[in-house]
Structure 1
Amino acid sequence: MRPSILLSTLALALVAQATSLTGNRALVLLDNLDDTDSYMELWNDFQSRDYNVTIRETSSPIALSRYDQREFDHLIFLSPKMKEYPKGMSAKAVVGFVADGGNVLLAASPELSSTLRELSREFDVEFDNRFTTVLDHFNYDDNLGNKQHDVIAVNPKTHMAKINAIVPQDAVSGPVLFRGMAHSVNPTNSLLTSVLWAPQEAYSWESVNLEEIADQDPNVSGKDISFVSVLQARNNARVAFLGSTEMLTDKFFNAKAKKHGEAETVSGNRKFIEELTKWTFREKGVLEVVAVEHHKVGELEAPAHYRIKDNMTYTIHLAEYHDGEWHPFSADDVQLELIMLDPYVRKTLDQIALTEESTVGSFSTTVQLPDQYGVFKFMVNYKRPGLGYVESVTTVGIHPFRHDQYPRFISQAKPYYTSAASMGVGLLIFSFVYLWGGLDSSAKTTKKA
């Protein structure tokens, strides 16, 4: 392995000492400190993952940054009733916190205030009207939602995104219990991903009128209802939106889930929230470019510039962070683009076979440079849901042939060569006939008298 790769791998190993790559300082906002006891299992989980958790009421003054440095690395809103931001905090400050690389988890309830509703809209997430809740008369939990059918047992096999980087399919063994409000995500926003959604029979309705007969259509129903959604910003900061604060409570963590008409089983909330928070706080699904190499075929070092039509080998080394360590990244859809205003070449990279000693995933390909000289970018722009974005750009100059590097004869010009040769042959024949093929000089001329 090259020395540059070894140095980069060592640097990654030093960073990997923390469980989260962003940091371990987490701020939790509660409507009332009395609610702390409802989330003891969650606090214990954070403590086991080496987080330094600070719990504050929304009435306490809070500063997210000081001297242009973040005071916290993660921000958790468990305060759906918050009517106004704590002193020192604002929607602009929260957006700036994300822009600075901080991660946010926002949990709602039917009493969600307009303050957090407006904050969610900053990220293209729209919660349903206040005092609405999601109901399902077919997929409700018999233990917690038997009366009003407002506790929904969601099957993760059919209603959870198949993105193992966020929540692996085999990690959640039982149904996820949900009681809360619906939200929807903008389908045109490629940064947003719905992780958990409602069954087809679910609908959103006013929680204060559950005893009355429905006299109008619900605002949102079926698969349009998102229970949990995530956003990964362009700077790889992560934001999670949950329609329920109860999903995170000890009551739902320790509940025995019993979907109506099925056998009782263990609730999948604890494992689902654990995997979701690991992703949100950048404990997994993070990609890093360790090294980039490019050179002419048959050579080892990168040249100062290339020449048009050169055969070039490009290699990129990627590592993925999870379980507190960096591992080789594997994929079959990493592509290389050669761009000058527009892509001239786009080719899928082949992964080099991993060995027991591999510390990074290496992807390589050989391409012929385009017949166009100028300044090109060798770009790998790899963006997949759940994984950290990779954008590697290498700027390289491609020169034309020198005057003495062009071939003496070009096969495409054979018609021109033939026409020139035929003209020469014709000239020789004409000259020969003109000079030696005239009248006989011995012939007598006749003069008029």
Structure 2
Amino acid sequence: MMRASILLSTLAMALVAQATSLTGPRALVLLDTLDDTDVYTDLWNDLEGRHYNLTINDVSSPVSLTKYDRRLYDHLIFLAPKMKEYPKGMNAKAVVGFMAEGGNVILAGSSELANPLRELSREFDVEFDNRYTSVLDHFNYDKELGQAKHDAIVVNPSSHMSKIDAIVPQDKLPGPILFRGIGHAVNPKNSLLTPVLWAPQEAYSWESVNLDESADQDPLIAGKDISLVSVMQARNNARIAFLGSTEMLSDAFFGAPAKKHGDKETVNGNRKFIEELTKWTFQEKSALDVVAVQHHKVGEEEAPAHYRIKDNMTYTISLAEYREGEWHPFSADDVQLELIMLDPYVRKTLEQLELDDQSTVGTFTTTLQLPDQYGVFKFMVNYKRPGLTYIESVTTVGIHPFRHDQYPRFISQAKPYYTSAASMGVGLLIFSFVYLWGGLDSSVKTTKKA
């Protein structure tokens, strides 16, 4: 039965995998003006090479994200930092609703970031610095692009990028990242947010239009507190990426060599970085799916109608990971099963079965004894790791107590109670015998009073 469900699920996943993205190929791009289209030619070519259908609009054209309660697009790309108001038919609520329905978003800003996109970012606990501020670094600036203001900085991925390979793997980047734009801060209490790229320790955020004037206050954010690129995965697995620079997606930054002041010229990693970031945001990779779940008593194969307390049972779950347009077996050593009734009664790490050449899923299993507590329980696998889509598999089962004829007749631990009960019975018999047959002697005479 489990094999049949795995085959059906694999067939369904193969049909979905014809599209590069799990959520679909339709992408809407919003620009400040259509004249900016030629600025991102390499980006368009990369996306179209991955089978995306791009619709490019400027902010003056009306836009509708849904029709008849259905999404018209699967992905939304904001490359319009100067946008002073949303296009007709769109607002912040519509964008949040777009994500609530499973759409993915890329939001790129600049030092001229206007209020609409700032307010949208605040919906996700991301706060961009004040308008007309830029990230400056007088030690790590690019010799050509940042010579004048030191606002084009060179970021080393090995020390200033997240180590989460599920989002952007460091070993795939050919060189450092070039960045020129605005910094932002993320709410550290929001566990759904993940900083991907942050500024060097010497960097600070300041008004790039007033560099010749003396500073009269400290910068709002500085050093590694300046997030350059951050991502968020919502609870429904929709994804959004926040970039402080539209230029890092442009042809100029894709093709420019990285020439950090005082260092040799190297190839920059912008194009590969944006490729991996868009793959993650558009769910081309790091997407997990539950293929099959099975549970049964030890020695049996079918799931029972209910379990009994202290039963030994086996739980098995099969997971697959989507990447490079195909489904692959998922591997991990930290997948856990929880047996919950209000609170977890049992939490146990699942063991992954050995993969063979024909495996299309990763199978995790464990054997455990059910608790000595009856009621309605949930078998739950709640797997949430940064960069991966969330897995929450819940199976509800009933656990019954022993029936009256399933208890042992005599319990060895109760021998003191059995002995006391028997001694009480024997004592009662002795007392009754003495009282009834061992009374006063009949030969005793009574005297009458005069």
Q: Which residue of 2 aligns with 1:55?
A: 56
Q: What's the CA shift for 1:173?
A: 2.5
- What stretches of structure 1 move > 6 A for 4+ residues in a row? 431-439, 443-449
Letter in 1 for 2:302: E
Superposition pairs of residues 231-270 of structure 1, within 5 angstroms: 231-270=232-271
Q: How many residues align?
A: 447
Matched, 1:11 2:20: no
Task: Name 1:293's counterpart in structure 2.
Answer: 294
* Structure 1 gap segments, 5+ residues each: none
**Would you say 1:152 and 2:153 are equivalent positions?**
yes
Aligned pairs (5 A) from 1:346-425: 346-425=347-426
CA drift at 1:448: 8.1
Residue of structure 2 equivalent to 1:202:
203
Deviates more, 1:5-14 or 1:402-411: 402-411
Deviation at 1:92, TM superposition (A): 1.0
Q: For residue 170 of structure 1, give the secondary structure of its aligned residue in structure 2.
A: helix
1:282 is displaced (CA, Å) by 0.5
Tell whether the 8 Å contact from 1:80 to 1:108 is kept in structure 2 after alignment.
Answer: yes
SS class of match (1:37): helix
In structure 2, distance between residues paired with 1:314 and 1:100: 32
Gaps of 5+ in 2: none
Question: Residue type of the partner of 1:191?
Answer: L
Distance (whole Å) between structure 2 residues aligned to residue 445 and residue 363 of structure 1 = 91
Aligned to 2:32: 31
Relative to structure 1, the CA distance from residue 168 to residue 90 in structure 2 (aligned partners, 3 Å threshold; closer, same or farther) is same
Aligned position for 1:128: 129
Identity %: 78
* Residue 80 of structure 1: aligned partner: 81
Cα distance in 2 between the residues matched to 1:422 and 1:258: 97
Alpha-carbon distance change, 445 to 27 in structure 1, aligned in 2, over 3 angstroms: closer
Change (3 A) 1:428 1:24: same
Rounded Cα–Cα distance in structure 2 between residues aligned with 1:223 and 1:180: 15
Letter in 2 for 1:49: R
Shift of 1:436: 9.2
SS at match of 1:422: helix
Q: Take 2:446 and 2:22, find their aligned partners in 1: how far apart are those partners?
A: 116
1:168 counterpart = 2:177: no
1:99-119 deviations in whole A, cap 9, x for unaligned?
A: 111100000000000011011
**Bigger CA drift: 205-214 or 176-185?**
205-214
Aligned to 2:311: 310
Rounded Cα–Cα distance in structure 1 between residues aligned with 2:132 and 2:141: 19
The reply on whether 1:45 has 2:53 as its aligned counterpart is no
AA in 1 matched with 2:17: A
8 Å Cα contact 1:308/1:399 also seen in 2: yes
Check conservation: 1:143, 1:256, Cα contact below 8 A.
no
User: Per the alignment, in what secondary structure is the counterpart of residue 338 of structure 2?
Assistant: strand
Deviates more, 1:256-265 or 1:353-362: 256-265
| Residue in 2 that maps onto 1:186 | 187
Q: Distance in 2 between matches of 1:112 and 1:120?
A: 11
Distance 1:445 1:11, change over 3 A: same
- Structure 2 distance, partners of 1:304, 1:116, is 53
What CA deviation, in whole Å up to 9, does each residue of 1:312-362 have, x standing for no partner? Answer: 111110000000000000111111111111111111111111111111011
TM, length-normalised to structure 2: 0.95
**CA 1:53/1:419 → structure 2, altered by over 3 Å: closer, same or farther?**
same
Partner of 1:227: 228
Deviations 1:40-71 (A, max 9, x none): 11011011101111111100111111111111
CA distance in 2, matches of 1:262, 1:213: 29
Q: Does the residue aligned with 2:142 lie in a helix, a strand or coil?
A: coil
Q: Cα distance 1:444–1:393, how it changes in 2: closer, same or farther (>3 A)?
A: closer
Give the Cα separation in 2 of the matches to 1:229 and 1:88: 28
1:300 counterpart SS class: coil
Q: 1:32 to 1:446 in 2, by over 3 A?
A: closer
Q: Deviations over 1:192-221 (max 9, x none)?
A: 111111111111000111222322100111
In structure 2, C-alpha distance between the alignment counterparts of 1:409 and 1:6, rounded to whole Å: 51
